[in-house]
Amino acid sequence: MNFSENSMARTSLWVPGEDLLNYINGQMQPALGGAWLENMNPSTGQVMGRFPDSDASDVAMAVEAAAAAFPAWSGMSVEKRSALLYRLADLIEGHAEELAAAESADQGKPISLASKTDIPRAVDNFRFFAASIRTFSSESQPVSGGHLNITLRQPIGVVACISPWNLPLYLLTWKIAPALAAGNTVVAKPSELTPLTAYLLGKLCGEAGVPPGVVNLVHGTGLRAGEPLITDPRIPVISFTGGTVTGARIAGLAAPLFKKMSLELGGKNPNIVFTDADLDQAVETAVRAAFTNQGEICLCGSRILIQQPIYNTFRDLFLAKVKALSVGDPREQVNLGALVSEGHLHKVLGYVQLARDEGGIVLCGGNRVHPEGPCQNGYFMEPTVIEGLPNTCRTNQEEIFGPVVTLQPFENESEALVLANGTPFGLAAQVWTSDLSRAHQVAQQLKFGLVWVNCWMIRDLRTPFGGAKASGIGREGGVESLRFFTEPTNVCIKV
Ligand code: NDP
């Protein structure tokens, strides 16, 4: 072995097949009960390795470590905390290629997407909050009537971070970074479908010199490892991203315990295209918005609403582009990789059957794909476009979370709003028009947490992020995150 091979081997973060471990109190360890779960590679359908099937005893140990680490971490100067987060960001960046490969193997997404989006965003999450905590301050209200009000923004304690499988490291760090920056300690549970990059983040926390107990990562299932985290009385704050049904369950468990909660949940996002839109851009972005990450992004535009006069033109242009998308081995230059699991693939295919049963016409796609070569048993699916369904049917009401999009015509602005607002969800909407007044008027009437006009997925970390209605409670992002992860205490002083 020559020197460079040797140094690569020494700095390698992950050797395929190695056991993934919990990271508790700065130590890598298996589940206390000794149980394991298999980690699948969705693009081959093969087992990649195993990870701890943790239970309440592991969670209790992690919470204890986090509680013990809290006084020193919250008391550390903001400058030092910030410097540690910058160091962690640098380490993630330094291992970006390896992390992207790991994310792609674990989740199924094209490696190009992980390299371009997931990993750089994880780096940004740490850098952004490392910077913003240095300008985040307590507030004071000028003396009035002889009293001075100061509102302190203090760290709260141990935060539970529970994240989903679609953007594993991206969303895990979206929670951990501001929670830590604000002076809290963390116990996080990643999805059982995508434990890999969370495990690697644990390694990097150690390397960055994050003190033991400040970040704890416990792997396992929602029921065995997630629920004990939600109900642990030593945890006052929960940041959860996942499905609406799980969110309701978590809210039900946590509300009687008076925990502070942020719930970022599912979506059924409309993409409204008016006749005066820039058609080429609208079509191109609609394709990206529907099928990026195999449609497994909570912000994907899965219902395209098109004004009647341009319906046929839009549909034909859209279909031509969708049919040109490539599906296959995520290590290659493809547009769509594998869906995250066999169960999820069957759920999504089931929705295509449901759409047919409801009277929908499948214009393209709808089938499982078996690429030639090593990925032939992976969980791939064609990008699918469906038309001819009313807004009220299940296909148009329920979150599918896969590469399936429906097209619906509308006559005028008010009908577009009724259709767009006409689901239980309210996460993200798109509006395509060249009329600024219309864009503004429609945006105001959309009951959504985010509205993109003539664009999609532009995410500025300073802006509030979250959903309305069944898409969640609360907002994170920028100052909203720092407010969420701190407790305001009003101190009123007679002067
Ligand atoms: P789930 O709700 O199934 O799971 C999310 C996380 O919660 C996982 O870590 C899961 O663990 C855990 N969990 C499951 N049950 C419980 C429980 N009873 N108590 C505590 N934790 C639990 O969501 P998915 O992972 O399937 O992710 C997809 C969903 O996430 C979609 O609905 C999507 O829209 C939503 N999402 C929302 C976003 C937003 O910002 N609004 C962003 C991204 C996704 P396990 O995996 O082991 O079951």
CA distance 127 to 478: 12
Looking at residues 364-375, what average pLDDT do you find? 97
Contact 267, 298 (CB under 8 A): yes
| CA 229 to ligand 1: nearest atom | 20
Model confidence pLDDT, tens digit, residues 195-252:
999 999 999 999 999 999 999 999 999 999 999 999 999 999 999 999 999 999 999 9
| CA 245 to ligand 1: nearest atom | 2
Contact 100, 123 (CB under 8 A): no
pLDDT band at 11 (very low <50, low <70, confident <90, very high): low
Looking at residues 315-319, what average pLDDT do you find? 98
Task: Please tell me which residue, 306 or 142, carries the higher pLDDT value.
Answer: 306
Output the pLDDT for position 5.
Answer: 37
CA distance 108 to 130: 30
Model confidence pLDDT, tens digit, residues 407-424:
999 999 999 999 999 999
Per-residue tokens: 150: 């100061």
Distance (Å) from CA 490 to ligand 1 centroid: 35
Distance (Å) from CA 238 to ligand 1 centroid: 13
| CA 167 to ligand 1: nearest atom | 43
Contact 199, 219 (CB under 8 A): yes
Model confidence pLDDT, tens digit, residues 25-60:
999 999 999 999 999 999 999 999 999 999 999 999
**Nearest residue (CA) to ligand 1, atom 32:** 243
| CA 298 to ligand 1: nearest atom | 34
CA distance 286 to 272: 10
Output the pLDDT for position 229.
Answer: 98
Distance (Å) from CA 53 to ligand 1 centroid: 17
| CA 427 to ligand 1: nearest atom | 41
Alpha carbon 255 to chain centroid distance? 23
Phi and psi angles of residue 328, each rounded to the nearest 5 degrees, phi first: 165, -160
**Nearest residue (CA) to ligand 1, atom 42:** 298
- Calculate what percentage of the chain has a pLDDT beyond 90: 95
CA distance 434 to 431: 10
Distance (Å) from CA 350 to ligand 1 centroid: 20
Contact 100, 114 (CB under 8 A): yes
How many CB atoms are closer than 10 A to CB 365?
22
Output the pLDDT for position 145.
Answer: 84
Looking at residues 108-130, what average pLDDT do you find? 98
Protein residues with CB under 6 Å of any ligand 1 atom: 162-166, 171, 189-193, 221-223, 226-227, 230, 241-243, 246, 249-250, 264-267, 298, 399, 401, 427, 467, 471-472
Q: Looking at the predicted structure, is the pLDDT value of residue 276 above 70?
A: yes
Q: Looking at the predicted structure, is the pLDDT value of residue 9 above 70?
A: no
Model confidence pLDDT, tens digit, residues 371-394:
999 999 999 999 999 999 999 999
Three-state secondary structure along the chain?
CCHHHHHHHHHCCCCCCCCCCEEECCEEECCCCCCEEEEEECCCCEEEEEEECCCHHHHHHHHHHHHHHHHHHHHCCHHHHHHHHHHHHHHHHHCHHHHHHHHHHHHCCCHHHHHHHHHHHHHHHHHHHHHHCCCCCCEEEEEECCEEEEEEEEECCEEEEECCCCCHHHHHHHHHHHHHHCCCEEEEECCCCCCHHHHHHHHHHHHHCCCCCCEEECCCCHHHHHHHHHHCCCCCEEEEECCHHHHHHHHHHHHHHCCEEEEECCCCEEEEECCCCCHHHHHHHHHHHHHHHHHCCCCCEEEEEEEHHHHHHHHHHHHHHHHCCCECCCCCCCCECCCCCHHHHHHHHHHHHHHHHCCCEEEECCCEECCCCCCCCCCEECCEEEECCCCCCHHHHCCCCCCEEEEEEECCHHHHHHHHHCCCEECEEEEECCCHHHHHHHHHHCCCCEEEECCCCCCCCCCCECCEECCEECCECHHHHHHHCEEEEEEEEEC
Distance (Å) from CA 475 to ligand 1 centroid: 17
pLDDT band at 63 (very low <50, low <70, confident <90, very high): very high
Active site residues: 264, 298
Distance (Å) from CA 395 to ligand 1 centroid: 21
Looking at residues 327-344, what average pLDDT do you find? 98
| CA 249 to ligand 1: nearest atom | 18
Query: Mean pLDDT, the chain, as a whole number?
Result: 96
**Nearest residue (CA) to ligand 1, atom 23:** 242
Model confidence pLDDT, tens digit, residues 470-479:
999 999 999 9
Distance (Å) from CA 59 to ligand 1 centroid: 18
**Nearest residue (CA) to ligand 1, atom 30:** 242
* Angle between helices 96-107 and 168-181 in degrees, nearest 10: 120
Max Cα distance, the chain (Å): 78
Ligand 1 pocket mutation pick from 53, 167, 232, 241 by most atoms within 8 angstroms of CB: 241
Ligand 1 pocket mutation pick from 117, 125, 191 by most atoms within 8 angstroms of CB: 191
Distance (Å) from CA 424 to ligand 1 centroid: 18
Q: Looking at the predicted structure, is the pLDDT value of residue 1 above 60?
A: no
pLDDT band at 404 (very low <50, low <70, confident <90, very high): very high
Output the pLDDT for position 143.
Answer: 80
> Of 373, 399, 371, 375, which is closest to residue 469 (Cα–Cα)?
399
Q: Measure Cα distances from 242 to 187, 296, 459 in Å.
A: 17, 12, 19
Rg (CA), the chain: 23
Q: Looking at the predicted structure, is the pLDDT value of residue 2 above 90?
A: no
Q: Measure Cα distances from 79 to 70, 108, 152 in Å.
A: 17, 38, 18
Looking at residues 486-495, what average pLDDT do you find? 94
Ligand 1 pocket mutation pick from 54, 58, 162, 423 by most atoms within 8 angstroms of CB: 162
The type of residue at 442 is V
